[in-house]
Amino acid sequence: MAVPWVGHPLPVPGLDGSHPDLKANVHPLVGYNAMTEKTGAAAVYDGVGHGTHCAGAIAGVQYNSIGVSGIAPNTTVSVCGGAQ
């Protein structure tokens, strides 16, 4: 049984919330970049892929024939980072 919103803060510089294996599990409104003090998905976009990789290991969508399933595919991730 899936819980409506179980969040997992991800302390990375950012992530690509439009990635097909993540977009269902990335909270669209939660995100904070400590370097710029901006919030929202655009403030924490990952241009290098590290945060996207970490988020996929945690919350990759299950049974979609893309990549692998995350260890907690029913969770929602939000980025709270800013290190470059």
Task: Round to whole Å and give the CA distance between 59 and 54.
Answer: 9
- Domain segments of the chain as ranges: 7-81
pTM, two decimal places: 0.74
For the chain, 84 residues long, give each residue's pLDDT as a single digit of tens. Answer: 444 555 667 777 778 878 888 888 887 666 777 777 877 767 777 777 788 888 889 889 999 888 889 988 888 887 777 655
Judge contact between 58 and 8, C-beta under 8 A.
yes
